[in-house]
A = this chain, B = another copy of it.
Amino acid sequence: MLQWLQHYRRSMLPGDISAGIVVAMMMIPQGMAYALVAGLPPVAGIYASIIPPLLYALFGTSSTQSVGPMAIISLMTASSLAPLAAPGSALYGVLAAQLALLSGGVLLACGLLRIGFLANFFSRPVMSGFMLGSAILIAWGQVVPLLGAMPPAVHWPSAMLGLGALAVLVWARLYMAGALRRTGLSPAAADIGAKLAPMLVVVGATALVPALELEALGVATTGNVPAGLPGLNLATSSAHWQALLQPALLIGFMVFLISMSGAQTLALKRGEKLGSNRELAGLGAANIGSALSGGFPVTGSISRSAVNFAAGANSQLASIITAALLALALVAPTGWLALLPLPVLAATIIVAVLGMLDLSTLSTAWRYDRADAAALLATGAGVLVLGVEAGVVVGVALSMGALIWRASRPHIAVLGRIPGTEHFRNVDRYSTETAPGLLMLRVDAGLFFGNVEAVNERIEDELAARPSTRHLVLVLSAVNAIDTSALFGLGELNTSLRQRGVLLHLAEVKGPVMDRLRHSTLLQALNGRLFLSAAMAWDELAPGAAP
């Protein structure tokens, strides 16, 4: 806990301060916008940006992770709560906090159970497809607030403000860094400056509201924002808790995956090491903190963390400074926040999520591995057609299917002797000699439930191709483990071979595997023998072999 503080050096302070300020300027419009995506009042996004990063700084391991509201998690929140309460109702806000509490509990429990290895659950193309589908879904959901009415109807004052903001933001995304560079700013500073465009647009648009009397024209604004953090308010209906449990599992899962995928990229750039179990604990604490301070589920934001990193963050102190600035914004007179026009927030959301569209993974996968590209597109389509929660399930199913498919085809080589040596190699790749009646197979994978059938099938095929086989030697030099399913599989193979007059031998069994096999009856039941090496098996079993 707080290891980074023990190693803090004064030279790290300037970077942390500048990053803290830049990220705060990014966080204010983003937090409010993502609260809207979650179906909550914009101020909830500010709440969710104060306590969570402080708790993450205490328990997490990434030096540059920026924890707070994030578009996809907000979308999942809205989709989970939609069947239970009307957006804007008091119950909705209470349930959003409960969902954060449950998600945080799930994450914390996973951290304590040390199952952080589940971060390997999603393949990169599946994750990219999930983000692609979610981004399109989020952008689509902002069309109504952007235009102030359901298309084809348009509320012109809202639409002009919204589309104007959109045009400015798109320009800023594409050209502002270049324009700043031409004024003499360094490329890095220009890039960071361009990230402040949403804040400038939001402030400018908010100033326009009273100036042009836009509220009287029917432009929606965020409305009154209460000062200070709200009190704790959790419902006690057990039916609600139960209904939120499954969404909380899915949200906890995605909070972890999204946060890790961003943090790992940044950690690699610094040669920094993340602890996945401590990350789970940090994200769990952050979500519980969000629940207790009127927020909703939060995660590490890839885009915001990248800005934090680029703006010079050296430690979690940058995030603490960001949180402090947001807290200040909340205790300062918040009247101006009430005038923030919703069409402009919708424009910031659309530009932010379209910036998430990662088409490079799709194009790389398309050229490199069509199956991975298909998984990407299927996951994206799953999110668009079936919804964001079903999209997670589709993604897990595709990743797991790929994992099982891979596990179920272990590499198995028929071995032959390199003449005159004690070396045994794949007969398909080396010039080797084999002995009649003797079949030697090397399995290049641990034996376990996922490949036990495949190994048996391959053995049957090889035996069918060599009906005169009398001795089958399994060379286990590459087998680091044999699980209970494979133990049964070997036992059944042994019985089956005995009935067919073929002896089953094992060779080059590794020490740890042998220790475990001694706790089973396989070695006593074995038809054939145990050999220390393939060469010793050859010397004994090859007809006419020189001893």
Contact = CB atoms under 8 A, between A and B. Distances in A.
Given A268-B496, A271-B500, A460-B273, A519 B400 contact: no
A268 B407 contact: no
Given A460-B273, A484-B123, A499-B269, A407 B407 contact: yes
A328 interface: no
Contacts of A456: 268
Interface stretch (A23-31, A94-102, A216-224, A366-374): A366-374
Contacts of A373: 484
Contacts of A483: 123, 369, 372, 402
A484 B264 CA distance: 17
B265 A368 contact: no
B401 A449 contact: no
Contact of A125 (B453, B481, B484): B484
A483 B368 CA distance: 8
Among A400, A406, A484, A495: residue with most chain B CB under 10 A: A484
Contact of A118 (B404, B460, B463): B404
Contact of A123 (B269, B401, B485): B485
Contacts of A454: 120
Given A444-B478, A484-B361, A460 B271 contact: yes
Contacts of A117: 404-405, 408
B365 A484 contact: yes
Contacts of A446: 406
Interface stretch (A191-199, A296-304, A486-494): A486-494
Contacts of A109: none
B124 A364 contact: no
Contacts of A265: 492
B368 A520 contact: yes
A343 B67 CA distance: 62
Contacts of A59: none
- Residue of A123, A408, A449 with highest tally of chain B CB at under 10 A: A449
A449 B399 contact: yes
Interface in A398-430: 399-408, 411
Nearest to A121: B404
A364 to B, nearest CB: 7
Contacts of A496: 268-269, 271
Contacts of A451: 120
A130 interface: no
A120 B268 contact: no
A538 interface: no
Contacts of A484: 123-125, 361, 364-365, 368-369, 372-373
Interface string A348-378: 0000000000000100110111001100000
Contacts of A516: 368-369
Contacts of A450: 120, 403
Contacts of A273: 457, 460
Given A120-B408, A367-B520, A369-B516, A453 B485 contact: no
Contacts of A120: 404, 407-408, 449-454
A47 interface: no
Interface string A434-460: 000000000011101111111011001
Contacts of A271: 460, 463, 496, 500
A6 to B, nearest CB: 19
A115 interface: yes
Nearest to A500: B271
Given A120-B452, A372-B484, 12 more contacts: A118-B401, A118-B404, A120-B449, A123-B483, A124-B488, A271-B460, A271-B463, A273-B460, A361-B488, A368-B487, A372-B485, A403-B404
A-B complex: 9 closest residue pairs judged by Cβ atoms: A123-B449, A124-B485, A372-B484, A365-B484, A117-B408, A120-B408, A268-B496, A367-B519, A120-B450
